[in-house]
Structure 1
């Protein structure tokens, strides 16, 4: 796989767009980029419908994100903060949680949940953005205690879109 802004994926004209980020030690809060609030790489995704375009920014990873540290052998919550901005000419309406996936270091894939977390406000279960509109919030993942987050992915159409944003966390 070639690293960069666009790598091969099924179908012509579509692909995985990659932004490389750093992962802090396990069970630590990761602020990406410079500044107090952190900022990460923005990836532009084209939708299947004319005028559908969304800029997605992974701004923060919080691990653990639950009310208390995970007990030995218990699952833990990991939260990722995403900023969605409609840069297209058509309205964006989707469910962001199932559109997000977290991959661990062994390749297991976890689908996002729209649930409360200690990290901050969740993205709503359904988001509708007019052109120029934006929304920011957390998507939560339930991982086994031993799982090490390795990457985050996001695609339009509840995660089924051909154009996929990919942020490496290692």
Structure 2
């Protein structure tokens, strides 16, 4: 009986883990872009003949994300991307045949509820083959890691690097982030190459 209960709990845990970052909505349209604004004399644009496709978010862009609870809203900015991140100390290294990639995120609580999360749990990267990789626990030389215990009051922010261990041959093309450790119904996606 005890083995059956333990097996059922392990199976349920694996199913919950497998559903992370699979929200109902994936948005790659930036709500704010990190690009510089055009000078005043260049503001007027030519009329377009056809509607254009929305720009994909990239490094420097902000995506407004919602959590599962009312009042949980975060402006997520992919501040920096490093496709070949160096370990933060002499004891940390990627496994044989792998390398570290890292993303620096700034998460600003724009809602009315506190943002309490482990942001790295809701992050993953994808390569050109469609392989997806979850974050890993590692320090990189780029700077401080994202906290695993963010507790951010409304109006405040958290900044840090999220690290992924990927095969050396993988060309990472996108990074995704969802609130609530990946269980929110909305996921932000940025192009990184």
Return the alpha-carbon distance in structure 2 between the equivalents of residues 10 and 45 of structure 1.
12
The structure-2 alpha-carbon separation of the partners of 1:10 and 1:43, relative to structure 1 and needing over 3 Å to count, comes to closer
Which runs of no fewer than 5 residues in structure 2 stay unpaired?
A: 1-21, 37-58
Q: What does 1:3-152 align with in structure 2 at a 5 Å threshold?
A: 11=24, 15-19=25-29, 33=35, 40-67=60-87, 74-152=97-175
Contact 1:154 1:166 in 2 (8 A): yes
Question: Greater shift after overlay, 108-117 or 151-160?
Answer: 108-117
User: Which is helix-richer, 1 or 2?
Assistant: 2
TM-score w.r.t. length of structure 2: 0.67
CA deviation string 1:1-28 (max 9, x = no partner): xxxxxxxx975xxx211048xxxxxxxx
Return the alpha-carbon distance in structure 2 between the equivalents of residues 33 and 122 of structure 1.
25
Alignment: residue pair count = 142
Return the alpha-carbon distance in structure 2 between the equivalents of residues 130 and 99 of structure 1.
19
CA deviation string 1:120-161 (max 9, x = no partner): 110011111000010111000000010001100000110121
The structure-2 alpha-carbon separation of the partners of 1:63 and 1:10, relative to structure 1 and needing over 3 Å to count, comes to closer
TM-score w.r.t. length of structure 1: 0.76
Helix, strand or coil for the counterpart of 2:181? coil
Helix, strand or coil for the counterpart of 2:121? helix
CA deviation string 1:55-99 (max 9, x = no partner): 10001111211239x99x621000000000000000000011111
RMSD, aligned CA: 2.3
